[in-house]
Structure 1
Amino acid sequence: MSTPTPETPATRDAAPQVPTPPGQGHGQTSTGLTPAQLWGRARGFLLALGILLVAAVALAGLQTGDHHGRLDPRSADPDGTRALAQLLKERGVTSRVVTNADEAAAAAGPGTTLLVTDPDLLGEPQRRAVRSAIDLSGGRTVLAAPSSISLPELAPAAHTKAFAHQRDLDPGAPDCALPAATTAGRAGTGDGLRYTTDLPGAAACYPSGGHPTLLVLPSTTKGGDTVLLGSETFLLNDRLAEQGNASLALQLLGSRPDLVWYLPTLADMPADTGADDQGLLDLVPSGWTWALLQLFVAAALAALWRARRLGRLVTENLPVVIRASEATEGRARLYRKAAARDRAATVLRAATRERLAALVGVPAPQAHDPATLVPAVTARLLTPGPHDTAATLLFGPTPADDAALVALADHLDALEREVRTS
């Protein structure tokens, strides 16, 4: 609304401390927001929400391509093995992916190579199924980086001897008689585990510190063998073209016409692992327990400090004196921002009624009573008119717009000025 700039009797003394007349309390103040104000407040939140939705859709789109797990022959990611699977296919090797230990054991046979990509993820029942395939199939089983967790059941004749590093490998020949290794030459079998075994006929290749990083164990039952890879990185897409990695991978995994890729998943884990018996606090590291307790105590102390009361509330004089016109103008701007024409009109009329009551001799308690104030004011007018004119000005409805509110202020000012001069 437009605030009258000149100081008039109707606005000069309409300071904030005006008593609210009976029946015209704060319940009539318009506190609702306009559509423009709602949009101004909500557009930041809506913009952030839109950005999040677009990011979520983009991430979902990126994940719908050929993205699978590590060593997955369907994955073209750097840690996938699609390149190796494609090379094997060109050489007549048929590949098949399974995620269940029983399916892997059933698919194993004399003409099959079974690649277990993560032996340490297997539970005891799954290890027994793979072990039965090793003993009875007569084919080749390749275990990718098995550690002391899975070796006792899958390859009890071998043991781990800590980790190897690529820089510690002999830069020359693989130092073994395995045809696949001698043909491939140097390969990236380092950066993984080293093994040791006393089994006769085992081929120990690519030694590091005197212990092999690739070990081939012959089967003691129906033929076949078990290959232990200290590191599976030379099978990956981004490492296959380095040194003799491709040659070594093709010979180890392509010696049989069928290749079964066993990719263990969490769904293949045994149900009785004990994870369900753990509570939320069991999953929190021990050091974090004390840290969380200290944070809780600190938060409680901060809440008590901020919530304390230092006695009863007291009023304090303002450090400067503000003119009534400035206070009125400031309040008028707030009313205009909130579109509170009803409240602004109530304040103007209440202040005018109190001043008119003092001029016409009406007691202060009856200043807001139309039956008492309106006749007294009408009688003091120089040009008496109908009572409804004064009643409409002093007790009328809320102005319909800002222009009507300004007009009301002018009429109240004229009414008071005429009573003063009568």
Structure 2
Amino acid sequence: MTSSAAPVVVGDGTTGASRARSRWRRARWPLAVLGLIVVVGSLAAVLQPRTSEVPLAPDNPAGGGARAAAEILGDQGVEVTMVRTSAEALRRAAAGTTLVVTSTFLLDDGQVEALSESEADVVLLDPDWWVLDAVTDGAMDLGWLGTETVRAAECDDPAAQAAGQVRSGGSGVVAVDPAVVVCFPTDEPGTGAYAVLDDGDRRVTVLDDASITTNDRLTEDGNAALVLHTLGRHEQLTWWVPTYGDTSEATTGPAAGELLPAWAGPVAAQLALVVVVLMLWRSRALGRVVTEPLPVTVRAAEATLGRARLYRRSRSRGHAAAALRAGTARRLAARVGLPRTAGAPAVIDALTRATGRSREQVAGLLYGPPPTDDAGLLQLARQLDELESEVHRT
């Protein structure tokens, strides 16, 4: 018949099992909170909305968005990346890629200058005249606002030929330089709804009516063919939707917030809340003070000498003087029959009567300012000793 081994008891009276239970009780709440954070963060990442309501944005499924064009381009092997800052847009604007820009009225001079110097093919949707002038170096200009009508391609550009005809209500793009190819012309000579300028290895394409790219109008006439041919020229397409507050000062690199995933903000807020709760939990009242027997007995003289050395090492003359005065006042108050709760005025009056000293002298010794040097501390100690001896003699 075998018997189970008794648990090993260590010097503090605990066993391995008891220590494990104690550690688990201390750690279970922090672990539970940590697990909750992980679950909430995962849900925030999974349930993050993948759409927006930004006009002309490739993730906007509404009528004014451009999600349909972006998804068709993605199905054809084009990698579409939406950006909201000039820093990210211009960083991605490398040679052999396409950069489409919406809402050019939000750009400042520095951003437009950087855009004009980019090496990527640039597509401008209904641009402002000063942006168009800067990006094309004066080769194009805007015409006058015309009526919305169906216009035939009437040019040799492959994208325009694939479209055949489009319905545009924009102001039209004017060819200032003979190198500009104008398609879908209006009644004004050299003006059309679509214009292309090949500048070396770089192409600038302009659509005078941005609504051609929207979900509502993509299936009208030849809009889909024109948009897909124009934006799908390269395998990398950066879709820049400018925002308020973004300036040219940030064009040197991506902002710090762009380097973090979208769920980093909510998780950081939850972590901050958890830290506050843990601080409040751990800083709760610990209850009344419980006396505990010391493992060794320290003589009062040794404790006093040790404290005095600490005061001397730290040059805490004020604390040393306060300890001397408090001890003297306590002993003298008991000597003259005062209770422990007696205030300073009662102690001063009683000692004045007992010693015959003036009230100011007694108050200065027991409750005066702290000494400023070692000599002053020694003198105060001698004077307190003399005061205590006078009271004992009475």
TM-score, reference length from structure 1: 0.45
Greater gyration radius: 1
- TM-score normalised per structure 2: 0.48
| Larger RCO (alpha carbons 8 Å, 6+ apart) | 1
